[in-house]
Every structure is written in C-alpha cells, then in structure tokens.
Amino acid sequence: MPKPQRSPRLKPLQGVPRGRRQELLKWNGWGYNDSKFIFNKKGQAEFTGKRYRLGGMVLPTFKEWMEKTFGASLDHKTTSRATLNVNDVPPSLVKEEFLQDLRAAKISYSQDAEDRVFRAHGHCLHEIFILREGMFKRVPDIVVWPVCHEDVVKIVELACKHNLCIIPFGGGTSVSSALECPEEEKRTIVSLDTSQMNRILWIDEKNLTACVEAGIVGQDLENQLAESGFCTGHEPDSMEFSSLGGWVATRASGMKKTIYGNIEDMVIHIKMVTPRGIVEKNCQVPRMSTGPDIHHFIMGSEGTLGVVTEVTIKIRPVPEYQKYGSVVFPNFERGVACLREVAKQRCAPASIRLVDNAQFQFGHALKPQVASIFTSFLDGLKKFYITKFKGFDPNILCVATLLFEGDREKVLQHEKQVYDIATKFGGLAAGEDNGQRGYMLTFVIAYLRDLGLDYYVIGESFETSVPWDRVLDLCRNVKERIVRECKEKGVQFAPLSTCRVTQTYDAGACVYFYFAFNYRGISDPIHVYEQIERAAREEILANGGSLSHHHGVGKLRKRWMKESISDVGLGMLRSVKEYVDPNNIFGNKNLL
C-alpha cells in the first residue's frame, strides 16, 4: 500500500504499566481508587480526590435527595470486601508448552490471581455485585500483553496451535457482559490485554488522518493528538478508560457525534488479526464501492472474530473556541419538540442533551456547596425568575445542556440560531455554568453506583435509539414499566426511573435510561434487577426502539438478536464467524 507523507513517528506512551491497573483503578467498582462519593463524619456527601472539578466538594442536598428518593438511610449500610481473597479465585490452568512458546516469542504474561480477576469482567451491575460479595466461577487462566501488531499475530497463531480461547481486553468498561468468561469453557482462556499497544504511529496532516494502535485509551489519544494541534472529537462517557479498539469492536458513539460522527464515520482503515490471517483493505481512502464493506464486519464484532490492532482514524484541528450553554423548558414534551426541530434544521451543536425532570432533580442534588453569598443569591434569583415569574413547575420542567465548538464567530452565530429555536418552544436560556456542570457530571456520575451499593441501592443505565415520532411514547412507557415491574417484584420503595435524550439524528434520537431502587428486604436483588431490566428492554423493543444504540450486545442482550436483525441476518453473522474462526478461538460467546 502506498504511504502518503506523514509527520515523524510519535513518541510511544508509557501506558498503564502491567501491574498498575490495580493500583490506579478499583478492583470492584468504577474508576480511580482515589475518586469516590462518600458520606463524611457530618453525614454530608462529598467527592474525594483531585482528578475532577467536583473533588473535595461537599454536596449539601444529596443525602436528603437519596433518603427521599429511595427511602435509604445512612443507618442501613452494607459492607463490601475490602480486598480480593486470592484463595477464592479459580486456579490458572495453562500447559507448560504454551508458556514456553510465549517466552520464546518474548511476550509478557501473568498468571497472578489479581491480574486475572481484573480482566474477568466489565462494569455491569451483576459483575460488580459479584466482586463485592463473591467470585466469578470462571476467570482467565492467563493474561498476555502484546506491545505491537506482530505480537498479536504470534499470540493468535499460538492459540490456534494449542487450541486456546482468546478474549480481547481493552479498557474493561463493557456494560454488556462481553468480558465475562463462559463458565462452560474447558480450554485455557487467554485475556489478551491491548493496553501496551498505545502509540500514535503517524499523523498525516495533509489528509487529516492518524494511524493509532488499538489499545490506547480515549483521554490519552486526545491528549497526544492535542500536542500536535489535533483531536478526534470522539468522547464517550467512558473516554477516560475505554480504548480505541473497544470503540471499534462495539460500534461506539460519543457525546459530540453531531460534529465528529460516530466511530463508523471516523474510521478510515482497520487492521485486525483473525485465526484465518490479517484482515485489512489495500488502501486508505474515504470510501470504496467494492461489495459489502469489510469494516462493517469488524465494527461491532465484539471480540468474536479477532483482535483489532491498528486503526486509521480521521482527525480535526483542535477547535479554537468552545462554549457551553443550557436551556430550561416548561416540560419534557416541549424539550423533545425543540430537539426535533434543531435536528430537522440540521443545526445541532457539538452536543445537545435533554434530561427529564427526575434527572434534573438528580443533577441538582449533586450541586456543590456555594462558598459565595452573592452566588447563592444569584441562584435563588434565577430559580425565582423561572418558577415564579415565568410559571415553570419545578416538578415538571426539564433542562437541555449544550456544547458548541469551532470558529468563534460561527459558534456565536450557531448559538443564536439554537437559542432562537428553543424560544419558540418555550425554552429559557439557563446559563453557561449549568451547561458546563452537566458535562462535568458525565464523568463522575458512574461513581455513584458504588456509593448506592453501600446503602442497599442498586442502579444501572441502558440506552436505545428510536424514531422521532416514538420518542415520547417510548420514554413514558419504559419508565412506567420499570415502576410497575418494581412493584410487582416486591420492591418496597418506589424506584428512580428517569431518562435523557443524548444524541440526535435526522430520523430519530438516542435515549438513555437510569433506574435504581432500594433492595432492602429482597433476598436476591440481582435476580430481581435482571427481571426488571429485561422487562424494560422488552418495552423498548415493543415501542419501536433498538436493542442498543452504542453499548453493544455482548452476552447480556443477545437473546434479542434474532428479533433485532432477522433469522437470515443472524445466519449471515454466523457464516462469517464460521469462516473466519472455525475453531472458535475467539470464544467469548458474544452476539451469537
């Protein structure tokens, strides 16, 4: 393949050293070890650490919100295991011949219990619950760390030679049970950790593309590109921890997809190692008409066909100007109508997200203590203006957060256009601070589940995509179904059932649901939770929604694959799997 002129090879990242994942990140919860929500000695909620803007701040109304919403109490606390008991971990079963071949190939590996457990799961509720209270029946037998494409080729060849099962591991942020080891798998399970494949190999400034190793995590990719004045603009909520290869494998979407596109819009070239050999196109061009696009066999394949090793991705100059904003609407219906009009006029900002009233109240409970009396006075004045003067009901209103990016003059023009549309639907500008805070919360909200679990509250999020004319019905019906199912399953306290519209398209939108409930008095809360989530997914499908917009299928949702893509469609995927991987080396049992 001809090589266009490119900038010099960039300095490789140090990456997350092999043994440091456990030091940096929680082994049985979300995110960094030093970052978490706690209740201090005064009974006030606060967020620890200095990594986030919320760090060290007290949240004076959160405790009251939690007690009122869930019937939870600080007096009723559960205990999680503080450390991993290695004696609980299933033993590592690896033949010496394979280890000899790994050493000969100079590929790093570990059979350490902590290394294996850390890569045995993603972040589904049941996975974290198991880690807090028990142990998985099956975990990887060995973890390997390739440092380049050629290492992956060697590992896959050895797996074929020794008839092993490979489960690729990127950032470990899966919420579809994709990383769980099949309990019935008798072969040695190899966790192929791509974290050491984290370099930008080249940047092509003329064509605005970059070739990147698939193990790089989102924040490192953006930070490295920014040093050269570029970005990808791909910012999923998990971008601090999720990897480029994981984005490709799950058909990921980011919060700024309106400008930069979803992952399928950004990828120019993919290199993937399969048991049959290497899959890649012969050139790096914006589009080809050469039969079905092989990239679309790779994107969304969820580790069932091979390992993505290198990706050429579109890049853009870092935007010169960025501005946040927010709009408050009298109700959710008006807010959805506004987003529909913005999409129709194709003038959506980089990000536009509409939260319902329950989620607005949730966000308000996470507001930190105000140090300034003047700021507190201004907040009270705004609330008076919106609720008393304008007549918005604080128990019905909803809020959209906005993010504009680009050339300063164009951003200001764009901003005026969006606010003018919002005004036609009864929207009121609610300030930059609320918009910026909304996006800041995106990265800390996942930490709340761990706090909830400490006080008998379990929660989860799930998403879908839906045509515009079904958005309101789907949101209402799914939330009502969750409440009804909780009552029927014996949940004693009313659940939190809430949603937001997170991405807009010409023909529809992505809708994200949160639901949580107090499980005190329930003997098997995870079983009850899974029944309720299953009912919610059935309701989504019955209301014209998709099986998933961007989380993927994994093992969690594959029961609905036939209904989603048809019997013939499923057969097509099986045929690809059977040809590419006839011995099921990539045997994670996702999708099919």
Give 25-51 as a DSSP string.
B-SSSSSBTT--EEE-TTS-EEE-SSS
Cα-Cα-Cα-Cα dihedral sign, residues 10, 11, 16, 19 = positive
Phi, psi of 481 (to 5 degrees): -65, -40
Name the residue among 187, 191, 31 with its Cα closest to residue 107: 191
**CA atoms of 51 and 569, how far apart (whole Å):** 45
**514 in active site:** no
Contact criterion met (CB below 8 Å) for 9 and 15:
no
**CA atoms of 584 and 276, how far apart (whole Å):** 11
Catalytic residue (one of 512, 514, 519, 529): 512
105 is written with which tokens? Answer: 């190939």
The residue written with tokens 């990383």 in the block is 179
Report angle CA 98, 99, 105 to the nearest 5 degrees: 90
73 is written with which tokens? Answer: 């109490």
Residue type, 546: S
Contact criterion met (CB below 8 Å) for 217 and 198:
yes
Buried b (16+ CB within 10 A) or exposed e, 370-387: eeeeeeeeeeeeeeeebe
587 is written with which tokens? Answer: 């045997």
Report angle CA 53, 58, 63 to the nearest 5 degrees: 125
**CA atoms of 414 and 347, how far apart (whole Å):** 7
212: β partners: 200, 311
Contact criterion met (CB below 8 Å) for 260 and 210:
no
Cα-Cα-Cα-Cα dihedral sign, residues 511, 499, 369, 78 = negative
Give 558-579 as a DSSP string.
GGGHHHHH-HHHHHHHHHHHHH
Cα-Cα-Cα-Cα dihedral sign, residues 26, 28, 30, 35 = negative
Helix H, strand E, coil C: the string for 111-163 is CCHHHHHHCCCCCCHHHHHHHHHCCCCCCCCEEEECCCHHHHHHHHHHHHHHC
**CA atoms of 160 and 178, how far apart (whole Å):** 22
Active site residues: 512
